[in-house]
A and B are shown apart, each in its own frame.
Chain A
Amino acid sequence: MPSAPSSQPARPGWILCHHCDAAYARPTLQRNEVARCERCNNVLLKPPRLQPQALLALSLTALLAFCFANLYPIVNVELNGDSRSTTIIGAAMALSETSYGLVTALVLATLLLFPLLEICLMVWISGFLVAGKRCPGFHGAVHTLQDLAPWGMLDVFALSLAVALAKLFGIASVSFNVGMVGLIGLVILMPLLSNTPLHELWDLRLVDKEPDALAEPAS
Chain B
Amino acid sequence: MTASIITGRSKALLQCHYCSFVVNHDAALEADGHPHCPRCSAVLHQRKPNSQARTWALVITAMLFYIPANVLPIMHTHAINGNQSSTIVGGVLHLWHLESYDLAIIVFVASVIVPLGKMLSLILLALFNTLGYAGKQQARTRLYNFLELIGPWSMLDIFVVALLAAIVQFRGLATIQPGLATVAFAMVVVLTMLAAKSYDPRLTWDHSKPND
Contacts and interface: CB of A to CB of B under 8 A. Distances in A.
A and B found bound together: yes
Contacts of A146: 18
Size bin of chain B's contact surface: 35 or more
Given A107-B162, A159-B156, A163-B107, A39 B40 contact: no
A6 to B, nearest CB: 18
B167 A80 contact: no
B39 A160 contact: no
Contact of B163 (A22, A91, A143): A91
A13 B15 CA distance: 12
Given A41-B138, A103-B182, A143-B18, A110 B164 contact: no
B155 to A, nearest CB: 5
12 contacts: A16-B7, A20-B205, A38-B5, A94-B163, A107-B162, A150-B152, A156-B152, A156-B156, A160-B155, A160-B156, A164-B159, A199-B19
A183 B201 CA distance: 35
Interface stretch (B56-64, B116-124, B169-177): B169-177
A164 B182 contact: no
Interface of B: 2, 5-11, 13, 15, 18-24, 38-42, 95, 100, 103, 106-107, 110, 137-138, 141, 145, 148, 151-153, 155-171, 173-174, 177-178, 180, 182-183, 186-187, 189-190, 193, 197, 201-202, 204-206
A199 B137 CA distance: 26
Size bin of chain A's contact surface: 35 or more
Given A39-B2, A157-B159, A202-B19, A94 B178 contact: yes
Contact of B21 (A75, A150, A211): A211
A86 interface: yes
Given A19-B201, A86-B167, A160 B21 contact: no
A14 B34 CA distance: 21
Interface in A82-119: 82, 84, 86, 90-95, 97-98, 100, 102-103, 106-107, 110-111
A150 B163 contact: no
Contacts of A168: 164, 167-168
B22 A214 contact: yes
Contacts of B197: 150
Nearest to B206: A21
Contacts of B168: 77, 84, 168
A31 interface: no
Contacts of A15: 15, 20, 22
A22 B210 CA distance: 12
Contacts of A164: 159-160, 163-164, 167
Interface in A38-61: 38-42
Contacts of B20: 15, 199, 202
B163 A199 contact: no
Contact of A39 (B5, B41, B103): B5
Find the residue from A22, A42, A75, A97 having the highest chain B CB count within 10 A.
Answer: A22
B141 A21 contact: no
B162 A91 contact: yes
Contacts of A210: 39
A84 B206 CA distance: 57
Contact of A18 (B10, B15, B193): B15
A13 B20 CA distance: 12
A78 to B, nearest CB: 9
Given A20-B204, A95-B165, A159 B152 contact: no
Given A14-B22, A41-B138, A102-B183, A77 B41 contact: no
Given A91-B163, A214-B13, A159 B106 contact: yes
